[in-house]
Structure 1
Amino acid sequence: MTTDGRTARAERTRRAVIEAHVDLIRRGELKPTGAQIAAKAGVSLRSLWGHFGDLETLFEATGTELMRRLDDAYEPVDPALPLDERIDAYCRQRAELLEYIAPFARASSLRAPFSPALQRIRLRHIERAKEDTMDLFADCFEGVDPAVRRQAENAIGVATAWPMWMSLRDVLRLSVPESVEVVKRAVAALLSEVSSTAPTRPEPAMAS
């Protein structure tokens, strides 16, 4: 087999393993074993570990694939919309994303305390939410003290991330629309608070 052929075959195996991992979790198998993943992918267990080495490497690869899918599906909210419409659209968008990743987030919660790879993936999700927030609501942060800005950025990032959503959906047992309204209220309150700390701009001088 040529080098190109071996590379293509290796990539197909890796893709099959990642797809199998994703599919098993989506179907409710929150802690799939290597044997289950290999069987689902149609490869040998030896081949699976030959390509990924260990669970940490597989977690990193699967997390990266999920982030890629989310990036492909992402459609930015128009920052020119009125603030209340931006908040509504953004929180509904976050709800869709969080419902999509729900099985993977639940699976991650079982292993994350012992997995640096899963901890990194969780942080990447929150950092991405913070970046989106700062882009969409940049006008609310104009002139705000950097320390206050960081605090608000972290607060909104957590308010629109999985831990908050899990509390609403899995603990309080709220519906998706009810949960969206809670998140909207939290985001609106945080933005209002941070905006109130910005210095008041002087009124333009009237021409004589």
Structure 2
Amino acid sequence: MVICDMAVHQHTDGRVARGQRTRDAIVEAHTALLREGVLKPTAKVIAQRAGISVRTLWLNYKDTETLLGATTAYWLEADAELRDDIDPGLPLDERVERYLDMRARRLEHLAPAARSAALGEPFSVALQESRRQHVDRVRDDLAHVFAAELTAEGPGRDVLAAGLFVASSWPTWSSLRDDLGLDPDAARAVVRASLLSLLTEASART
């Protein structure tokens, strides 16, 4: 009886592991296609890239929304690994440079997913939730890195916080990279000028 139970347990564990590998392969295929510029891949294209059938894809993800939830979770986890803990006690210029290094790196990594999400976000709760989490992360980063300047603003804190957010947000980066055709270094320089202008102007008022 014990041997039989162990065999059943091992079989179940193996099946669960295979299922997880299949789900991981689907998300990796979806992610790879987005990175290649295929912003709205069909289930057939994703399945072909993952080396499975369309039926297997939908057995693992019951609908498009579930698949989008898994893919956005992947991007959020990858983005978290790119976050740096920047000391808010450093001089302002150094904090700005370190924040820009981190932010530009994360924005370039996020770009394929963000471009794809823009197509489906109005219709997808998963994409809307992912956007909210990314926005919250940026706001938290800014509040931490520039805590001294934001605190010194007093009643004007919210205005400064909003300005810093807009200057380093994905829509701004996308406009610089996609609309104006700037390379990452040139886009970074524009964001740097915007942040320094906001922060030095705030410092001058205190």
Question: TM-score normalized by structure 2?
Answer: 0.87
> How much identity, in percent, do the aligned residues show?
42
**What's the counterpart of residue 178 of structure 1?**
186
SS in 1 for 2:85: coil
**Structure 2 equivalent of residue 102 of structure 1:** 111
- Check 1:59–1:158 CA distance in 2 against 1; reply closer, same or farther (3 A cut): farther
Contact 1:159/1:187, CA 8 A, preserved across alignment: yes
Hey, what's the Cα distance between the residues in 2 that align with 1:179 and 1:149? 26
User: 1:77: Cα distance to partner?
Assistant: 2.6
Q: Does 1:59 align with 2:68?
A: yes
RMSD: 1.9
Structure 2 residue matching 1:142: 3-state secondary structure? helix
**Secondary structure in 2 aligned to 1:58?**
helix
Partner amino acid for 2:160? A
Q: How many residues align?
A: 197
Q: Which amino acid aligns with 1:48?
A: L
Question: Per the alignment, do residues 158 and 50 of structure 1 end up closer, same or farther by CA in structure 2, a change over 3 Å counting?
Answer: farther
Deviation at 1:28, TM superposition (A): 1.6
Q: Is the 8 A contact 1:126 1:158 kept in 2?
A: no
- The 2-side partners of 1:45 and 1:133 are apart by 43
Counterpart in the other structure of 2:160: 152
Q: Which runs of 5+ in 2 are unaligned?
A: 1-7
- The letter of the residue matching 1:4 is D
Return closer, same or farther for 1:185/1:46 CA change in 2, 3 Å cut-off.
same
Q: CA deviation at 1:74?
A: 2.5
Deviations 1:96-133 (A, max 9, x none): 11111212211111222222221221221121111111
Q: Give how far 1:30 is off.
A: 1.0
- Matches of 2:147 and 2:121, distance apart in 1: 32
Gaps of 5+ in 1: 199-208
Contact between 1:160 and 1:183, CA under 8 Å: does it hold in 2? yes
Hey, what's the Cα distance between the residues in 1 that align with 2:150 and 2:144?
10
Counterparts in 2 of 1:36 and 1:137: CA distance versus 1, 3 Å: same
- C-alpha distance in structure 2 between counterparts of 1:6 and 1:196, whole Å: 64
Equivalent residue, structure 2, for 1:119: 128
Work out whether residues 140 and 191 of structure 1, in 8 Å CA contact, stay in contact via their aligned partners in 2: yes
Matched, 1:188 2:196: yes
Letter in 2 for 1:156: L
Would you say the 8 A contact 2:151–2:157 is kept in 1? no
1:31 to 40, 44, 48: 40
Counterpart of 2:23 (choices 14, 18, 42) is 14
Tell me which of 84, 93, 102 is aligned to 2:102: 93
Compute the displacement of 1:20 (Å): 0.5
Farther-moved stretch of structure 1 (12-21 vs 168-177)? 168-177
Who is 1:205 aligned against? none
Change (3 A) 1:143 1:75: closer
